[in-house]
Structure 1
Amino acid sequence: MNKILALAQQHERALALVAVIVLVLLGNGQLAITDPVESNYALTAKEMLASGDFTSPRIYGNYWYDKPIFFYWELIAAFQLFGTSEFAARFFPAVFSVLNVLETYYFARKLYDRSTALVSAILFGSTIAFFYLSKAVITDMTFVFFFNAVLIAFYLAYRSGRRWLYVLAFFFSGLTVLTKGPIGFLLPGFILLVFLCVRRRAKELLHMMWLPGMAVFLVVGGSWYYVMYTLHGMDFIDTFFGVHNFLRARVAEHARDDVWYYYTLIFLVGFAPWSFIVLYQIKKRWAELKARVRERRFSDAAIFLFVWAVLVNLFFQCMATKYVTYTQPAFLPMAILAGRFLLPKMRLVKRVAACFYILYAVLIFSAAIPLCDQQSGRSTAAALRNLNPDGALVVNYGDHNNDRIHYRTSTVFYYGANIPELIGRRELDDVQPGGMNWNAKNVMPFLAYEDMPAETPIFIICETERLPFLRGRLADSALEKVYETHDTTIVKAIMPQRRISDTADGADGEASK
């Protein structure tokens, strides 16, 4: 009987793993690279590969200090393996998604047992956030895997007394810093410090193999930063650490999201369906849970997981800039805690997970592919290649409201050539990178209206709703609409042999506000 049960469990684990692999790869070749985030990563890796420079990220021919190097290396490797394609761009996010599920299973197995591990892995791998991130061309699945590995290695060293595992924690911290930045060292360190204080084991800090650990950390995580400083000096330091880390923590990039309940909503939606199922089960078992709290019947492992999950959410809630993916490192401990809690409901867990996997598969083709097409310049780039075989100048006419420029980098990625952003000469100084502000993101090329070549065809990409503004701005030019979708229009223009008036420049500036 025991052998039969063991075989059944192995079959369940294998089936669950296959389901995860199928889900994370399904439709990846059809999902267009989207704006505004995915396209920055994809175009940067494409330009690095073309230049042969695998050290300094670059985009539009300019050095780009937004993120560290590791995720770009993933994309470059995938482009070399599979060609520059959507499937290649989404390959390593899919790989690390599977690794995150396996990591959840491994740690839950170390803490509890195989049944808890299976339930926890199923929970982690069937959340809405997992489904989204497994398809997204962003750093998060790689970052989450390394971040979680830091804390797993720490806890296993702490519990077992095998202190060489602390060195492994430093190693993974180096990879985390190489993927996301200083947060990969600061936040795991804060979590383990609070946990040791809660458990009154702060003296364990003295046994964490600091000398070999920091040596490994500096080699793995610090070497690229040192090379970048030697190559680019304070420009790299000011932009990477100043704008993309310090400013992001201090000043909200999207002010509407800087509210106290932001990550509570993210948990409810991102951890669904399990967030609502767990809350319902807590309500049903409230008396039992209150008794456990009064009697302090919680294991060391449960306390560690709880501290981990809570501090990740509190830390990012205190940051001014908020993104839906920031608290994903809390999902592994939440999945294990929820897995332990829902273990008596194993059958329910399997059925709900199966239903959601079917739902996700349907959504990939019915919703995700069409939505990605809408958020991408793939079709616009294809139209440009057909309309412009002679390589005439192509420019973009975007919306400059709220100090942000509406510019589709994905069009450049698919088109294969830079596309300048049209702007008035008097406005150039207001959008150029420089100083401690969000203009650091404006690394796309610019072209002043006054400098547009005359009496030669120019293709202008314009948001369809802004076409009247473009016509007003270029009232004296010959304009011909040559391509149109629900949100994008391509206009073929021939500029007259004279300078555009400052009056028109000012009028459009007011109209666009």
Structure 2
Amino acid sequence: MLIRHWIIVLSIALMALIPGILQIPVMDRDEARYAQASRQMLETGDLIDIRFQNLPRYVKPIGIYWLQAASAKIFGGGPQAGIWAYRLPSLLAAIGIVAMTTWMSAQLGSAESGVASGIVIALALITAVEARTAKTDALLVATILAAQIALHRIATHPKRPERFFTGRLRSPLAFWMFHGIGLLIKGPIITLVIGTTIIFWCLWNNNRQLLQRLYWLSGIVLNIIIVAPWIIAISINSGTSFLEQSIGHALMGKIARGDDHHGAPPGYHMLLFILAFWPCTTLAAGGAILAWTRRISPDIRFLICWIVPTLIVFELIATKLPHYTFPVYPAIAILAGVFLTTGTNLVSLGKGLIAQKLLNVIVILISVLFAIFPFFAEIYLANGVTFLSISTFSAGIILVILMIRFSIELSLLRLIHLAVSVCIFYTLIFAKVIPSLTSLWIARSLYQVVSKEENCKNRRLVIAGFSEPSVVFFHGTNTQFSNAEEAAKLLNNNQSTCVLAAIEHSQQKKFLADSAELYMKVKPIGKVCGLNYSHGNKVNITVYRLVNQ
């Protein structure tokens, strides 16, 4: 690939993925929990234990917390850094995913294929969301992709690497190193994806040469060196609690049952793919046709071995969330890019023509829904249409027109035109529309109310009836979730300090009655109304303070 190819891909990636990183407030629930736990590492100096306030958070290994804490320290100035600093590792990982997908596609096809695949994965809605969220998933996919690149070169090369470290991407060292890093990010999920790829590859090719090329003993030793120090340290600190919660609940619990109310029947991921891969879902049917037509190619066969068994496994697991199948999206993007630049004639010849046209219609309809989203969002959440929603709607209509043109004429040039319009639309949605929906950002609104209070510098917030983790990230680790009775007692017992009580409407009468019983006069200093999107219910919170403070 030439420099101009990289400039095109990376420019589109940056325009698609950066807007909103600074503007979107911390999101409930996972992002707030990850970021707050990372912040507490900086506050306490304890880089081994993982805690959300006083509670252990042993659902994922330490890797994501180290990276977020390091980012906040280096780029944000310390634990009080804004959420953007905790999101930065996810953003960089997403850009890395785009770059690696581009490079791998160019190796399998051409420079144009690389550009197309890079644009496809950069624009994918799931990439856009994960790049802006301080969680594990973008980092996990980056490590999986890096390990799969090494595995692909080992699997498709006719000769076994001469030694564990060859100094090239074919090095088993690279494969096992990224596998070990992936274990520190999200446990054995990387093993599942890579393991099913290896098994499917060996079965399809009816030989076990790949197994002999991976230097298993050296690789396992390297992974132990990467993972074991922290596992030993957390076990000394917490006993068996981490392993019981991370493996027993967070992992095995998701396999057998719909954990945390996220169960869904098989087929969920296939249906959701249409939305998650938008706006380039229209290329998926062609990519599938190309994969089957050229399955004799070792490169294409490797991508199939990467995609199919992973999708099957995640469809069979009881718990289902949109990001679970994100690890196969780079491979699908590579097939889409190769199809766009070398295989569109397959559809014109009649193979999969009906599926292609059906996907075109569905994707255009989704684009129309996205275009009108700002209107409905502002009417429902902001009580009125503004110039911003009109501007975003106009950008969405242009996007729909370019989507139709792209569906009619599948070409790299049309894809670039579409990419520019998607980048503009993403900028308006993520950097303007979503942050402006005040009703969604209850913790931010609460912070704006309490921060205006005078003579309340070292304030402490107790909240009853609303317990989302974003409140802790905004208001500090010492924020206390409680009920009306305990909130009243806390105010009464801390009359010499500034304690503010945020009471949801459902507990307001109880709080006022308990305050009266304690002969304590309180005054309302502000009110916050909004929508708790985690539960889907409306929230009405009044903030109280002692009268004599």
Please indicate the TM-score interval, normalised by the length of the shorter structure.
0.7 to 0.9
Q: Is the 8 A contact 2:528 2:542 kept in 1?
A: no
Give 3-state SS (helix, strand or coil) of 1:477's partner: helix
Structure 1's 54 and 105: CA in aligned 2 closer, same or farther, altered over 3 A? same
How much does 1:263 deviate?
0.7
Segments of structure 1 that go 5 or more residues without pairing to the other structure are 1-5, 399-405, 425-446, 496-513
Q: Is the 8 A contact 1:120 1:339 kept in 2?
A: yes
Identity %: 22
Q: Over the residues paired in the alignment, what is the CA RMSD in angstroms? A: 2.8
Asked if 1:93 is matched to 2:90, the reply is: yes
2:491 and 2:500 in contact (8 A); partners too: no
Change (3 A) 1:371 1:335: farther
Structure 1 match to 2:543: 491
Q: Tell which deviates more after alignment, 378-387 or 90-99.
A: 378-387
Counterpart Cα distance in 1 of 2:529 and 2:61: 36
CA distance in 1, matches of 2:237, 2:506: 46
Partner of 1:34 in structure 2? 27
Aligned to 1:246: 252
Deviation at 1:72, TM superposition (A): 1.0
1:377 maps to 443
Determine whether 1:348 maps to 2:421. no
TM normalised by structure 2 equals 0.75
- Per the alignment, residue 227 of structure 1 pairs with 233
Q: C-alpha deviations, 1:383-404, integer Å up to 9, x for none?
A: 2233370656532223xxxxxx
In structure 2, what is the Cα distance between the partners aligned to 1:191 and 1:149?
Answer: 14
Structure 1 residue 422 corresponds to structure 2 residue 482: yes
- Describe the SS at the equivalent of 1:308: helix
Question: Aligned residue for 2:501?
Answer: 460
Instruction: Work out the CA distance in 1 between the residues paired with 2:438 and 2:108.
Output: 40
1:471 equivalent in alignment to 2:533: no
CA distance in 2, matches of 1:314, 1:392: 51
Q: 1:450-491 deviations in whole A, cap 9, x for unaligned?
A: 96564766633244xxx1443146535356432223224233
Query: Which runs of structure 2 are paired with 1:141-220 in the superposition (5 Å)?
Result: 141-160=138-157, 161=159, 163=161, 164=164, 165-220=171-226
Range that drifts further, 85-94 or 20-29: 20-29
CA pair 209-277 structure 1, distance change in 2 beyond 3 A:
closer
Letter in 2 for 1:409: P
The secondary structure found in structure 2 opposite 1:176 is helix
Aligned length: 448
Superposition deviation, residue 274 in structure 1: 1.3
Structure 2 CA distance for aligned equivalents of residues 204 and 397 of structure 1: 58
Q: Would you say 1:44 and 2:37 are equivalent positions?
A: yes
Write out aligned runs for 1:227-376 (5 A): 227-255=233-261, 257-279=263-285, 289=289, 298-344=296-342, 345-371=411-437, 374-375=440-441
The corresponding residue for 1:125 is 122
Q: CA deviation at 1:209?
A: 0.3
Residues in 2 aligned to 1:31 and 1:372: alpha-carbon distance in whole angstroms: 11
Give distance in 2, aligned partners of 1:217 and 1:108.
28
User: Deviation per CA, 1:2-28, whole angstroms, max 9, x where unpaired?
Assistant: xxxx8xx53243132123124333342
- Residue 379 of structure 1 aligns to a residue in which SS? helix
- Gap change, CA 1:150 and 1:222, over 3 Å in 2: farther
Q: Secondary structure of 1:249's match?
A: helix
Is the alpha carbon distance of 1:476 and 1:13 closer, same or farther for their aligned partners in structure 2, counting shifts above 3 Å?
closer
SS at match of 2:462: strand
Structure 2 residue runs of 5 or longer lacking an equivalent are 165-170, 343-410, 517-521, 531-539
- State whether residues 381 and 414 of structure 1, in contact with CA within 8 Å, keep that contact through their aligned partners in structure 2: yes
Provide the C-alpha distance between the structure 1 equivalents of 2:309 and 2:56, rounded to a whole number of angstroms: 34
Task: Answer whether contact 2:16 2:123 (CA < 8 A) is retained.
Answer: no
C-alpha separation in 2, matches of 1:297 and 1:310: 13
Distance 1:371 1:148, change over 3 A: farther
> Would the aligned equivalents of 1:309 and 1:334 in 2 still touch at CA under 8 Å?
yes
Any idea what the Cα deviations from partners look like across 1:82-137, whole Å, max 9, x if unmatched?
22113212222111111111110121122222221111111111111111111111
Tell me, yes or no, if the aligned pair for 1:32 and 1:372 is still in contact at 8 Å. no
Partner Cα distance (2:225, 2:493) in 1: 57
The 1:346/1:391 distance shift into structure 2, 3 A limit, reads: closer
1:190/1:376 CA distance change after superposition, 3 Å: farther
| Aligned equivalents of 1:456, 1:50: Cα separation in 2 | 24
Residues 188/277 of structure 1: CA separation in 2 closer, same or farther (3 Å cut): closer
Q: Which residue of 2 aligns with 1:73?
A: 66
- Secondary structure of the 1:486 match is strand
- CA distance in 1: counterparts of 2:284 and 2:107, whole angstroms: 23
Amino acid at match of 1:85: G
Partner SS state of residue 396, structure 1: strand
Q: Identify if the C-alpha distance between structure 1 residues 351 and 22 changes in structure 2 by more than 3 Å, giving closer, same or farther.
A: closer
Structure 1 residues 208 and 411: alpha-carbon distance in aligned structure 2, compared to 1, 3 A threshold: same
- Partner AA of 2:508 in structure 1: L
Query: 1: CA distance between counterparts of 2:437 and 2:136?
Result: 21
Q: Report deviation, 1:179.
A: 0.1
